[in-house]
Amino acid sequence: MRILCTNDDGYLAKGIGVLADAARTLGSVTVIAPDREQSATSNSLTLHHPLRVRQSTDGDLVVDGTPTDCVILAVGALLDHRPDYCFSGINHGSNMGEDVLYSGTVAGAMEATVLGIPAVAVSYAGDAFEDIAVWGDVVTTVLTGIIEQGDFPEDTLFNVNLPPIDPAEVKGIRITSLGKRRYSGSLTKAADPSGRDYYWIGGGEITWAAAEDSDFAAIGEGYVSVTPLHLDLTNYKLLEEIRGWRLSL
């Protein structure tokens, strides 16, 4: 089994090392990751300057681009074989609810899915990233369990979130839907030394509207969350109603 590992925290992040080690229990692993943090880059592509690739001292391939760039380069140029799977992460921070629309971690797995490669994104919902290595066995178990089911559903990737607790206290795995999160106070306005206004996006408080089967609820109750994400964003329930709007030129 040939496995591509990428992330959005950069090739030096602790999480991708843990993910790659877990993947090596399943097959041959190649790590191709950004040269720096690319959090919240979503599915962005680098179109306005050339991409460069170098090899790290550990033998990983390092790209001066986004997670999406990494996967495209891996499949189209850097690998002499097509990966059987792509694993993205382990992200330093959760990716639940609407965060999957912004996440570079999820985007790496999504690009692999676009290219027809089964993919899994993995994120850790805690803050103690220096201890993320203790999650190796759990991640191996989750990945093995997903792969053993056989062919992935068409145009679908799996989004895994690990709860911020001791792995020994994890209650199990839940199959979940996306929760709904809202940020408040996440936009800061200030003035630079010359008196010009600037704005900073980030921080603030998060509130969740979570159904019982949501990713956020599962994480809060000490479960690993596994959410199937589909590439097709069409709202099929509304198609017939909207066709009745008589939109016309």
What is the pLDDT of the chain when averaged over all its residues?
Answer: 94
- Contact between 186 and 202 under an 8 Å Cβ cutoff? The reply is yes
For 135, list phi and psi in degrees, rounded to 5: -90, 0
Reported in sequence order, the residue ranges of the chain that DSSP labels E, i.e. its strands, are: 2-6, 28-34, 53-55, 61-63, 85-92, 119-124, 156-162, 172-175, 180-184, 187-191, 197-201, 205-209, 223-230
Residues 6+ apart with CB under 8 A from 129: 13, 14, 15, 92
| 202: Cα within 13 Å, side-chain hemisphere | 4
Q: Which two tokens stand for residue 116?
A: 């027809």
For 243, list phi and psi in degrees, rounded to 5: -60, -25
pLDDT band at 177 (very low <50, low <70, confident <90, very high): very high
- Span 25-60, pLDDT tens digits: 999 999 999 999 999 899 999 999 999 999 999 999
pLDDT of residue 188: 87
Other Cβ atoms within 10 Å of 208 Cβ, number: 16
State yes or no: pLDDT of 187 exceeds 90.
Answer: no
Q: Which two tokens stand for residue 240?
A: 């017939």
- Span 86-131, pLDDT tens digits: 999 999 999 999 999 999 999 999 999 999 999 999 999 998 888 8
Q: Is the peptide bond before 72 cis (omega within 30 degrees of 0)?
A: no
Other Cβ atoms within 10 Å of 3 Cβ, number: 23
Percent of the chain at pLDDT above 90?
Answer: 85
pLDDT of residue 181: 79
Query: CA–CA separation, 181 vs 97, rounded Å?
Result: 6
pTM exceeds 0.85 for this model: yes
Structural domains of the chain sorted by starting position, each given as residue range(s) with its CATH number in brackets: 2-178+211-243 (3.40.1210.10)
